[in-house]
Amino acid sequence: MNPALRAAATGMMAQQTRTEVISNNLANVNTPGFKRSRAHFEDLLYQSIQGQQVLGDPNAETAPAIQVGRGTRLAGILRMHEQGTVEQTGRNLDVMIEGNGFFQLDDGKGNTTYTRDGSFQISDKGLLITSDGWALQPPIRIPTDASNITISVNGNVAVTRGKDIQATEIGKIDLVAFANPSGLQSLGRNMYGSTAASGEPVVGAPGDDGMGTLQQGSLEGSNVEIVQEMVEMIIAMRAYEINSKAIKNADEMGQMANNLTR
Amino acid sequence: MPDPVRLNGMTSAASALQMMERRQQVLANNLANVSTRGFKAETPFARMMGNAMAVTDTTLDTTAGTLTETHNPLDLAVAGDGFFVTQTPGGERFTRDGSFQLDSERRLVDSRGNQVLGEDGPIVLRNGKIEVESDGSVKVDGRLVSRLRLERVADSAKLEHEGGTQFVPDATRQAIAAGERNVRQGFVEESNVNSMSAMTAMIDVLHRYGAAQKTLSTLDSVRAIATTEIGKPI
Which letter does DSSP use for residue A190 in this model?
Answer: T
B17, B163, B210 ranked by CB distance to A44: nearest: B163
pLDDT in tens, B69-89: 888 888 999 988 899 999 999
Mean predicted lDDT score pLDDT of chain A: 88
Distance of CA A31 to the CA centre of its chain: 13
pLDDT at A213: 93
Which letter does DSSP use for residue A127 in this model?
Answer: B
What is the SS3 assignment for A52? coil
CA atoms of B29 and A10, how far apart (whole Å): 9
A229's CB contacts (< 8 A; 6+ apart) are: A22, A25, A26, A36
B113 or B54, which is more confident?
B113
pLDDT in tens, A47-93: 877 766 665 555 556 666 778 888 998 888 888 888 899 999 999 99
C-alpha torsion A182→A186→A189→A190, nearest 10 = -10
Low-confidence ranges of chain A (pLDDT < 50): none
Distance of CA A20 to the CA centre of its chain: 13
pLDDT in tens, B132-165: 999 999 998 889 999 999 999 988 888 888 888 8
Q: What is the pTM of this model?
A: 0.79
Mean pLDDT along residues B191-214: 90
Which letter does DSSP use for residue A167 in this model?
Answer: -
pLDDT at B171 > cutoff 50? yes
CA atoms of A140 and A130, how far apart (whole Å): 12
Interface of B with A in 133-172 (CB under 8 A): 158, 160-165
- The answer to whether A155 and A205 have CB atoms below 8 angstroms apart is yes
Which of A203-207, B90-94, B217-221, B228-232 is least confident? B228-232
pLDDT at B1 > cutoff 60? no
pLDDT at B189: 93
With helix as H, strand as E and coil as C, how does B155-218 read? CHHHCEEECCCEEECCCCCEECCHHHCCEEECEEECCCCCHHHHHHHHHHHHHHHHHHHHHHHH
CA atoms of B223 and A90, how far apart (whole Å): 89
pLDDT at B166 > cutoff 80? yes
* Strands, sheet with A156-161, edge to edge from the N-terminal-most edge strand: A146-151, A156-161, A168-172
pLDDT at A53: 64
Q: Touching check for B223 and chain A: CB below 8 Å? A: no
Q: What are the chain B neighbours of A259 within 8 Å (beta carbons)? A: 213, 217
Of the pLDDT bands very low, low, confident and very high (cuts 50, 70, 90), residue B7 is low
Of the pLDDT bands very low, low, confident and very high (cuts 50, 70, 90), residue B103 is confident
Q: What are the chain B neighbours of A179 within 8 Å (beta carbons)? A: 102-106
